Structure 1
């Protein structure tokens, strides 16, 4: 295998020679079977004891279906495979993956005769690799490593490109750059790997299609000039130039490609940053389709010339006008376009949450479709209802209006049960969706909100102010959206953060698989550039503990809907150094937080409380309390909770974290300012352990508070009971007031002068012996109201200094 993929010349020669003799193969392979005669609803994994997800299916010419999926249990992933006969009879479940605990989403491909391949990614001691395993007549052969050992390879896809040829493509990281790479199996011989994308941009999520003329196409999305775009190229029989498919001025990603009798089509997800209401930042999601013609790629329109094929608003994006209406999470694929061939026509399919206000724990989804007839988008219709996580079986082709698909139901206890279904394009219900008003396009970052990284002096050291959001989510969380790479660059380039932590839930309705956890940490390290930007590994300990004293913490009723024992959240943001650490799922350790704390301490990591309900553990790794988030101003709602922790001797920092489930890390209305010597993981974690930080509800305030010259967060002694408190603050808008809180009581309010800069001092004498704590609450103009759901304004009006801890008459 070649070791470097930077040169295109070997790829051109190699691939041209490799495929010049390939036979013509229709892109949408014919399935000479009457789908109306096969079982229309077969449960694939009813007796499963694992959490099953991310299936892939292929329908064979005899009406049987092979399904592969990811199965997770006890910190270990497996890839499983099962055959469904045309009459619905289930074959045995076979284990495809043989070694290791981290296995990603599979793709199953049928070849000529009785050959079948399963392709997936796995983390091994040498790094991330692409693995493949052939099944002949239903019997597994040896597992093959497809990617080069020097490459971290993820996001694989695979397609049969000729009767005896299989092509696998993936995104591979080498030398700090992600590139689309591929490899072809010709007969029984694997050819050398090659690079398809350029060396100058990061490229992700490839998809492959074969035209009737035997042309092989690969499309992908790439990040260039702070925009995602969908691009592609013909790779065989001869190599064509790179072609741009999505508009260069918009964010386009997650492409899918299908070749039909009418030509070559690509669909993708398009995103636009928007602002609404009192400054809420979100994203407007739409789906688009383009067809390649003699003049290149042209977007498909409706009869009125509208290029938007689908507005993904219901169940994905909050309504902001005439009044805010939030939505919750969803355990399906709300943003994934699918293409289905249908004779002379084509369908664009997508999934949406049936009820905009529907519960995350009881998900119900619609499969929606829009016919493309004579290159014109027709009105949308609902094609299937009542399930979630819809996937089309390969080949993506309807015959006499029938098509094969997979979908699931989610049950308590972390079970997802999949069905192999037969859909009917004639069975349609009316598609209805409200108009979403009040959102306006915006360019990010908003320069007036990005402040200078100021410095302060403390203990003879120069400390610099860095901005962090340490409680974020991406689509590795079961109910959230946004690709891991996409949201890392969003945090860096559009939110102007210095530090981000994606804390996907270890178990919320369903578990975080080992693959999902490890992949999140892989991306954290991939996007970290010390002194420039830190993405630290971590996760969310999503425990619920009983409010009934006689109930056991390990009772699953505490965290299974509907919750029992008056249980309440006891979540933690777990933040690890760049070397990472284990995911200690609360369901696997009997809900015992001491096991979490021990594991985190061994790595040098920290934990932070979350939400307006928690029980402090008192362990040294627990260094801070989340005062506010994108969901609510917690300390305003329940000040006694936070003050009570301090009154009972807890020396904890104040932090604010977005908890963004709506794709806006760093712009969800909560930030932590951290004073550290440099932008390294070691320095940032050391600063948090020393409580050298403060909280805001989204604005990049400058806050410097001192007690007898000591920086916020320090514990000092004042033997004579005298304390000099000083505040210097600079807002992004004029400072209105600053309030001083002593042991939970507001003792003094200072009024601003109408300027952004504000400073004051206050002296207290004759403090009684004992422990005291003080913090400042600073208010700037333009209040940020609390809206329902995860809808706080991005740049709020409040800041809280971490308390000063003062001992009077005590050693």
Structure 2
């Protein structure tokens, strides 16, 4: 244990000043930066003005008795050399981070002036190490490159010249060719218009540039398809030829493409897969015979499965199934060992991943799917002699008490001595204020004749699940690791402080290189009480609803299906566990739910953390695939009752998250998730802000006592629709309505509590013009849809259609059309004629009941008991003045659709 004197935390409080965006992240002023997890037994660090306090937390052992690198003369990290002796206030956290990292044998490359992420590492023939990474700085990206000298000192960073001056970049990776030229390969968005005046999207293409003898070579464009070329993986063969595989979208489907650099020129892209379904995240390796092996996951079977294929020259091999059960099998990685084995690792997640599950189905014992962040674990297999063999269980690399923890984000690599290395991330938890907070830490193990060696926990590695670290086996048998963290503290394990890039070398293990006995791989069996998902039936229903057309005001409209309330790992309350990564949001939306539009709506765009909001908005551009999928820019603003939670949306990028307007009787830090201590006109100020930015707000969970509202505020321009139902909880239509909390049950039994004032009928009674949608919120999947009639499938058209209230909400893929006197649902009109209401619907099952509501009263009920209905109803006794009408449909199987009302002004 460190012998330095412990400094009381309280004595540091007034000496630590936090930059604005980290202050907004809701840190505890008295507990900032105390613990940097992942070191030794969970090192707890506090640093300010050169004072550091240490203690230990059980359960986070690195499995090394003494970190080998730490016993040697430590090299100075970039941050140590570039920071003055007295650390500036805005980088105080770096002192703690550096101490934790270097004690664990790692170097910190970050200097605190940017948010650093997505590192890559490579080694030259003379042993020189290079690390490149993405840096978010001053509202744009940079790529920074460092060199490690032979004495262990790191060079000052250099910046890679990119295509644009203030670019968007994705996943910079490096490789060193046979002439020791350092190549940097990245994806960059080029051609995006001004967000306000010309918000057309740009195009993501792959680019490369080499660092040669102290200068940068010419820019090389590797792809030029008008759709995104992203999620690339760079690797080399024994001759140091450079290979690149990536995810292309030539037909709005994820396809795998490949190119190589032979030392003289880059080849043209080679199409590896062109299946109608999406193929994701390819990873590659080259065997001793020069065969390129590519592992990827695909939705071609109606769920995510792992496949392997090969390239010899320009000849593409067969697609080989590796893991094809009904469980989630994705994020594959591949390595080739000298004995001819091709090793593949992947994440195995829940059964029927992302399919029907949520609060009402759970209480009725009808859940048929699993949440996006459901428990997962890394699986390993090898392909040899045309058979798939199961590798040792990776969980055995951890202590017995830690083997049940989730693992993910694996990477395999084969060293020059034939050793198989495995890097993976493991979820760890910390209790905080009666809640379990979660983070993911970096782990490294290697294969021995006895199985996986005890894992090494990389120091100060806690962060998101979606961190893409890289490993590179060095020529001397050691392993080079470049990784990132966000310096979160154990007390607030869900809250990032600042993203940084680190490097560590793991010395060559003393273990013998070899294999344990392998057995044939057997896919896991599904649970006995849940049948496999019928992907064919769902695909037919999606095709039907996408093909449906109506004419509104002389213009043809189609239905687009979306989800406008989804959380990810970037939401601090639940996200790091049950909601999955912000990147897996897109595979769920595009494939599993087959949505046409949607948005990530994390609390305050990731808790007022500037970098997470940048990642959120950037990801919406990475997966902009109209008309297949149109991401909007969104976040949740969680003002507590009576103001109410609202989701905020824009059609263009770069609008700052609107902060909470806090009353001055509060003290402490700025809230990053939700707040109730708001000025009286907080919601009105939000409306004013959105009038200036062109955004909209959508109220949700209106009938809860914690998140709801009493409908004290409304702006029909800014707030055109309401989330009447969410899969995570209840419907908030009216008492006695389907999936509404029972008035006979105690309010506290409702998720989020219950209060009548927030029911949607009360908003209608106040004269509010609100259309309806449904969406998910935390955890729930595949049972809540926002359906919008729009003339075009682009961002602005979809938002404009929502403003017109040409929407309905549903729990399944019901097709519903509702008109009144030639006006579409959501419209308001004046007439002297009798209101004639027309409803046409196609259910996913038999429609058991149709209710027509006028002015919050039931005026007509039908029980057709058939799947397709066409209904016309004339109100023979209309009410004078303004009346609102809408239909509600309930199927025999309990699925529901809520139409937006029409407002009829009787002349």
Shared fold, TM over 0.5: yes
Within the alignment, does 1:640 sit opposite 2:766 as a pair? Answer: no
Greater helix proportion: 2
Aligned residues: 687
Q: Out of 410-419 and 798-807, give the one that drifted further.
A: 410-419
Selected match of 1:135 from 208, 211, 231: 211
Counting only pairs closer than 5 Å after superposition, residues 581-600 of structure 1 correspond to structure 2 as 581-586=652-657, 594=688, 596-600=690-694
Within the alignment, does 1:81 sit opposite 2:145 as a pair? Answer: yes
The CA deviation at 1:395 is 1.4
The corresponding residue for 1:395 is: 472
The corresponding residue for 1:523 is: 623
The corresponding residue for 1:267 is: 345
Compute the RMSD of aligned alpha carbons.
5.2
Greater strand proportion: 1
The corresponding residue for 1:670 is: 784
Counting only pairs closer than 5 Å after superposition, residues 287-686 of structure 1 correspond to structure 2 as 287-293=378-384, 295-302=385-392, 335-339=408-412, 346=420, 348-355=422-429, 363-367=438-442, 372-374=447-449, 383=457, 387-389=462-464, 393-396=470-473, 404=481, 406-411=483-488, 415-421=498-504, 440-445=530-535, 447=537, 450=541, 453=545, 466=559, 468-471=561-564, 481=580, 495=593, 499-503=596-600, 505=602, 507-509=605-607, 510=609, 511-512=611-612, 517-518=617-618, 520-525=620-625, 528=627, 534-543=628-637, 569-574=645-650, 576=651, 581-586=652-657, 594=688, 596-600=690-694, 608-612=698-702, 613=708, 618=715, 620=717, 622-633=719-730, 635=732, 636=740, 637=754, 640-641=757-758, 642-643=760-761, 645-647=763-765, 649-659=767-777, 664=781, 667=782, 669-674=783-788
Within the alignment, does 1:56 sit opposite 2:124 as a pair? Answer: no
Counting only pairs closer than 5 Å after superposition, residues 108-127 of structure 1 correspond to structure 2 as 108-111=174-177, 115-125=181-191, 127=203
Please give the alpha-carbon distance, in whole angstroms, between the structure 1 residues aligned to 2:847 and 2:383: 56
Within the alignment, does 1:104 sit opposite 2:180 as a pair? Answer: no
The CA deviation at 1:410 is 4.7
Is the Cα–Cα contact under 8 Å of residues 133 and 140 in structure 1 kept in the other structure? no
Within the alignment, does 1:691 sit opposite 2:805 as a pair? Answer: yes
The CA deviation at 1:408 is 1.3
Is the Cα–Cα contact under 8 Å of residues 407 and 418 in structure 1 kept in the other structure? yes
Relative to 1, partners in 2 of residues 1:315 and 1:507: Cα closer, same or farther, differing over 3 Å? Answer: farther
Relative to 1, partners in 2 of residues 1:437 and 1:379: Cα closer, same or farther, differing over 3 Å? Answer: farther
User: What runs of 5+ residues in structure 1 fail to find an aligned partner?
Assistant: 1-32, 317-333, 428-434, 529-533, 548-565, 783-795
The CA deviation at 1:256 is 1.2
Please give the alpha-carbon distance, in whole angstroms, between the structure 2 residues aligned to 1:120 and 1:504: 27
Within the alignment, does 1:798 sit opposite 2:862 as a pair? Answer: no
The corresponding residue for 1:13 is: none
The CA deviation at 1:670 is 1.0
TM-score (norm 1): 0.68
Within the alignment, does 1:195 sit opposite 2:270 as a pair? Answer: yes
Please give the alpha-carbon distance, in whole angstroms, between the structure 1 residues aligned to 2:788 and 2:311: 49
Question: Which secondary structure does the structure 1 equivalent of 2:472 belong to?
Answer: coil
Please give the alpha-carbon distance, in whole angstroms, between the structure 2 residues aligned to 1:337 and 1:303: 13
Is the Cα–Cα contact under 8 Å of residues 233 and 239 in structure 1 kept in the other structure? no
Relative to 1, partners in 2 of residues 1:190 and 1:675: Cα closer, same or farther, differing over 3 Å? Answer: closer
Question: Which secondary structure does the structure 2 equivalent of 1:190 belong to?
Answer: coil
- For residues 479-505 of structure 1, the C-alpha deviation after alignment (integer angstroms, 9 at most, x for no partner) is 554796x876765765465x3324465
Relative to 1, partners in 2 of residues 1:369 and 1:465: Cα closer, same or farther, differing over 3 Å? Answer: same
Question: Which secondary structure does the structure 2 equivalent of 1:525 belong to?
Answer: coil
TM-score (norm 2): 0.62
Please give the alpha-carbon distance, in whole angstroms, between the structure 1 residues aligned to 2:638 and 2:138: 19
Relative to 1, partners in 2 of residues 1:114 and 1:199: Cα closer, same or farther, differing over 3 Å? Answer: closer
Question: Which secondary structure does the structure 2 equivalent of 1:520 belong to?
Answer: helix
